[in-house]
Chain A
Amino acid sequence: MWFFILAELLVFGVFFLAYAFARTRNVELFNASQLELDQLSGAINTVLLISSSYFVVRAVDQIRHGRSRSCTYWLLAAMTCGGAFLVLKLAEFGAKIEAGITMSTNTFFMFYLGLGFFHFMHVVLGMVILGAVTLKAWKGGYSAASYSGVETGAAYWHMVDLVWIILFPLIYVLH
């Protein structure tokens, strides 16, 4: 899993560099297009993901002490935040599509929609992984002695969060 996480970070890293490179070549276009983004929705989503990461940390802490039931609840809380992130993100994408903005509109929107959707799919995958871990935890499949599954799921989820923490300021805020 660590290898997989590093590979994912590498892909996003290359895209962030590409974004920076493309932006320096057309700063005005990027700044003008950036104003059309919904910064509030992005900020709420940031809070949601950071909270969910905290919940996942609590879940790992609980299972370390052998408390599977409480671990399950923390995981469910994390997934709720993840779900809310997806809903907000869909609303954002929907608004952009309604406004007639596509990946071909300009380079900025190519990055915004492309990277945003790519990250979106990672949140979906993260939810699937957390879902599987939650189910197993609910059935008492982990214990204080054996909880590497919870840790693995948490590590992946942190990666998804980490990418967003870079993506949000980079694309939504930095002028």
Chain B
Amino acid sequence: MKYKSQAVAKPYFIAAIGLFLGQIVFGLIMGLQYVVGDFLFPAIPFNVARMVHTNLLIVWLLFGFMGAAYYLIPEESERELHSPKLALAMFWIFLVAGAATILSYLLVPYASLAKWTGNDLLATMGREFLEQPLPTKIGIVVVALAMLYNLSMTVLRGRKTAINLVMLVGLWGLAIFFLFSFYNPGNLVKDKYYWWWVVHLWVEGVWELIMGAMLAFVLIKVTGVDREVIEKWLYVIIAMALISGLIGTGHHYYWIGAPEYWQWWGSVFSALEPIPFFMMTVFAFNMVNRRRREHPNKAAVLWALGTGVMAFLGAGVWGFLHTLAPVNFYTHGSQITAAHGHMAFYGAYVMVVLTMISYTMPLMRGRAANGRVAQMVEMWSFWLMTVAMVFITLFLTAAGILQIWLQRVAAEPMSFMAAQEQVSLFYWMREVSGLIFLIGVLLYIGSFFIKGKSEAATT
């Protein structure tokens, strides 16, 4: 760690990991509810478990991105963070607001929560992933703006590199596109447009910039390859991500009442979306092969390579699987979508945050890398989580294909619930894979507490 203020990233990462564990627990609860419908009913109904599972994911990834930004930007800008105090204050505000929101989902009926939090003043609630009550949404904007102020001031007065500029543009984009969540038009088609402009332009737009910057940062550090080479890759990757991803939004317009030509434009552009992800894979492997140093933090290198591969598989391949309009006509909103969602979020965003944590945490704890045993446990957790996620994805894909056949293609189509009954075997197998994933998460957390001879701090 070069600058003292980079240490503000630590609480962000700890909170991220804690919420990650919560997300997995709720994933397991709802995974079981798929097959045992009244499990934990009425305390935690399925819709609440789902909301908590997805919202925790978003919140912990945001904690991860913020922590990463607070670590990476001072180092790239070669100066202390503009205001470490502001960053810490925002951490506590975000944590308290996030925890209160999740608890309110669990303890209060959603309709009452809407009534108490001023949803009648400005209706923003009730949309998937954007369920947060108004005060939480405003809180997110305040925290994001304070962070952007803090980071922008740091970059403005410091060294400007491709990495910190791409990171900053990504974070600004994240904050700006979130503003669409405050507009909730009565027209259902318009409503969907604005909703996708948050959801899609985040995960298939600006988040890719954030991811690219984080990956490039860690690769420079662990491989020692020239900055010029890595920055060139970064530019090309983000250019491709934006070219394909922005008009690629059209793949969400197929069946929402938008003009028919979107079936062409959405199909063609989103068919290109795997390219930047494939390039990230090639990028990660290429840089590691050309490494000029053997970094003692082997676990971080493994996470970086894993991000490249899994992001391409989850976001690229599983996305392409159902992105063409004639295919999506059948697969739309089925378990295929869930399969893609799981592997894409894990492969791209979960893994890149864990890459960053893996690289920075030892440094913030005063060593270049953890000891051999701690790293070994961390690598075990990598393989357990990753392999479990591959199986979750495969089982959901199998469930999806069968579901589509029974419900939408067969000569005598079944009703939704009848089809669900038929695919329950795959849901059980998904649940078992989920348990293995949980073991992976627990091992991962455990790896932080393993003491042993660690590598001396060099940077």
Contact = CB atoms under 8 A, between A and B. Distances in A.
Interface of A: 3-4, 7, 10-11, 14-15, 18, 22, 103-104, 110-111, 114
Contact of A7 (B240, B260, B268): B240
Nearest to A17: B268
Interface of B: 236, 239-240, 243, 259-261, 264-265, 267-269, 271-272, 275
B264 A104 contact: no
A114 B261 contact: yes
Contact of A114 (B243, B265, B267): B265
B272 A104 contact: no
Contacts of B240: 7
Nearest to A3: B236
Given A18-B264, A103-B261, A10 B272 contact: yes
A18 B264 CA distance: 8
Nearest to A22: B264
A104 B261 CA distance: 7
* Secondary structure call for the B interface: helix
Contacts of A22: 264
Contacts of B268: 11, 14-15, 18
A22 B269 CA distance: 17
B325 to A, nearest CB: 11
A11 B259 contact: no
Contacts of A15: 268
Given A15-B268, A22-B264, 17 more contacts: A4-B236, A7-B240, A7-B243, A11-B243, A11-B268, A11-B272, A14-B268, A18-B264, A103-B259, A103-B261, A104-B259, A104-B260, A104-B261, A110-B261, A110-B264, A114-B261, A114-B265
A106 to B, nearest CB: 10
Contacts of A4: 236, 239
B257 to A, nearest CB: 13
Contacts of B267: 18
A30 B14 CA distance: 60
Contact of B271 (A7, A14, A114): A14
A103 B243 CA distance: 21
Q: 3 closest Cβ contacts across the A-B interface? A: A110-B261, A103-B261, A104-B259
Contacts of A18: 264, 267-268
Contacts of A114: 261, 264-265
25 contacts: A3-B236, A4-B236, A4-B239, A7-B239, A7-B240, A7-B243, A7-B272, A10-B272, A11-B243, A11-B268, A11-B269, A11-B272, A14-B271, A14-B272, A18-B264, A18-B267, A22-B264, A103-B259, A103-B261, A104-B259, A104-B260, A110-B260, A110-B261, A110-B264, A114-B265
Contacts of A104: 259-261
A2 B219 CA distance: 25
B208 to A, nearest CB: 15
Nearest to B260: A104
Contacts of B243: 7, 11
Nearest to A102: B259
